[in-house]
Copies of this chain bind each other. A is one copy, B any other.
Amino acid sequence: MSGSLNFDTTSRPVQAILDEQLEQVSLIFERQLASDMSAVNKLCMHVESYRGKMLRPSLVLLSGLASTGGGIATTLTEKHRIVAAVTEMIHMATLVHDDVLDEADVRRRGATVNHLWGNETAVILGDYLISNAFHLCSTAGDPDINLALGQVTNTLCEGELVQLHHRNDFSISESTYFEIVRRKTASLIAECCRLGALLSGADAKVCLAMKRFGEAMGVAFQIQDDLLDLVGDQAVVGKSLGKDLDKGKLTLPVIYHLAESDQAARGIALGMIMDRDAAGLRQRLLVSGAVERTSGTAQRLVEQGKAELPQLPSGPARELLGVMADQVISRVR
């Protein structure tokens, strides 16, 4: 396929290969969003400043590299790079719409689209990103990829809708929380890993292992995100915090705290939730051990995900996937 690269991952550090590939993914991303309408371009350029960690594209590429072994000549194709750009575009769309839902003003230390241009523009710009993601995906000419990513975005939206349905549900169960998180966050991350492997020609066993790795990592990622929203430092995290409490979204630390409190402590915590008293609640969660228990759950999920990796051939790309999984829970932003 034109534009595909052949390289031996043993001959160059895998991080350098990844960086070079991500550069190409960025070009695909920017080319896709170039419009003949200047008003549209201005908005897209703003959204491109949100791109930071490139977690999802990195997982597509690394899964592609890792699943066929780090020691042999490995091919990343244009399809890998297109899928990588598509997953980032889907993620961007969710960020733009999430900021509308959360009435957030700050994202990656910059102003959000809704803050700068209003909710209406943010709604349609998010739609534009979703539409472009699917259009870009279609340029790969592979209906299976469209079908797989369409299924994932269906699942992702279902997770968001169920989460909205449970706003101000102060008796939301742990299992409902996990169902929401699996759908709204882990489904896309899992598919990044699975598709990366699939496009490298990995067998069904390896594809399934990568999907499981991504799902566990994705759930851990969201748990850490929810934890940071409650106990993080906005100056460090770089986005509006305390939004979950503001919006009546009960996340894992709060669910743990309520489940383990006696009646009196439960009453106090529920009062703080209803009063949106973030500082008070934070203190309670730290003292009760709910924060620590939440971190422990995320840690266990990361270990569970990493336990899938030995099913891949050993090599530097597989190692880097393990490092990325660890970073999910060590990150403070």
- A126-B127, A138-B143 known; A120+B158 contact, CB < 8 A: no
- Can you spell out 20 A-B residue pairs with CB atoms less than 8 angstroms apart? A39-B161, A39-B165, A40-B161, A97-B123, A97-B127, A101-B124, A123-B126, A124-B161, A126-B127, A127-B127, A127-B130, A127-B153, A132-B150, A132-B154, A134-B134, A135-B147, A135-B151, A137-B150, A140-B143, A143-B146
Which listed residue (B100, B135, B154, B156) contacts A153, Cβ 8 A?
B135
Q: Are A157 and B128 in contact (CB under 8 A)?
A: yes
A162 cross-chain contacts in B, Cβ below 8 A? 37, 39-40
Q: Contact string, A288-310, partner B, CB cutoff 8 A, digits 1/0? A: 00000000000000000000000
Q: Are B101 and A164 in contact (CB under 8 A)?
A: no
User: Is A35 interfacial (CB 8 A cutoff)?
Assistant: yes
Q: Are A138 and B147 in contact (CB under 8 A)?
A: yes
A262 cross-chain contacts in B, Cβ below 8 A? none
User: Is A314 interfacial (CB 8 A cutoff)?
Assistant: no
Q: Are A164 and B120 in contact (CB under 8 A)?
A: yes
Q: Are A150 and B135 in contact (CB under 8 A)?
A: yes
- Minimum distance in angstroms from A129 CB to a CB of chain B: 9
Q: Are B123 and A100 in contact (CB under 8 A)?
A: yes
User: Is A4 interfacial (CB 8 A cutoff)?
Assistant: no
Bound: A162/B142 CA distance, A: 32
A24 cross-chain contacts in B, Cβ below 8 A? none
- Minimum distance in angstroms from A39 CB to a CB of chain B: 4
Which A residues are within 8 Å of any B CB, using their own CB?
A: 35, 37, 39-40, 43, 93, 97, 100-101, 117-121, 123-128, 130-132, 134-143, 146-147, 150-151, 153-154, 156-158, 160-162, 164-165
Q: Are A101 and B123 in contact (CB under 8 A)?
A: yes
A130 cross-chain contacts in B, Cβ below 8 A? 127, 130-131
A156 cross-chain contacts in B, Cβ below 8 A? 131
- Minimum distance in angstroms from A93 CB to a CB of chain B: 8
A43 cross-chain contacts in B, Cβ below 8 A? 161
Task: Return the chain B residue nearest A43 by Cβ.
Answer: B161
Which listed residue (B40, B121, B124, B150) contacts A131, Cβ 8 A?
B150
Which listed residue (B121, B151, B161) contacts A128, Cβ 8 A?
B161
Bound: A79/B314 CA distance, A: 45
A125 cross-chain contacts in B, Cβ below 8 A? 157, 161
Which listed residue (B97, B128, B142, B160) contacts A158, Cβ 8 A?
B128
- Minimum distance in angstroms from A19 CB to a CB of chain B: 29
Q: Are B160 and A135 in contact (CB under 8 A)?
A: no
- Minimum distance in angstroms from A83 CB to a CB of chain B: 14
A119 cross-chain contacts in B, Cβ below 8 A? 100, 119
- Minimum distance in angstroms from A259 CB to a CB of chain B: 23
Bound: A101/B120 CA distance, A: 5
**Which of A118, A134, A142: most chain B CB closer than 10 A?**
A134
Task: Return the chain B residue nearest A118 by Cβ.
Answer: B164
- A43-B161, A143-B143, A162-B40 known; A138+B150 contact, CB < 8 A: yes
- Minimum distance in angstroms from A176 CB to a CB of chain B: 10
- Minimum distance in angstroms from A170 CB to a CB of chain B: 17
Bound: A173/B147 CA distance, A: 42
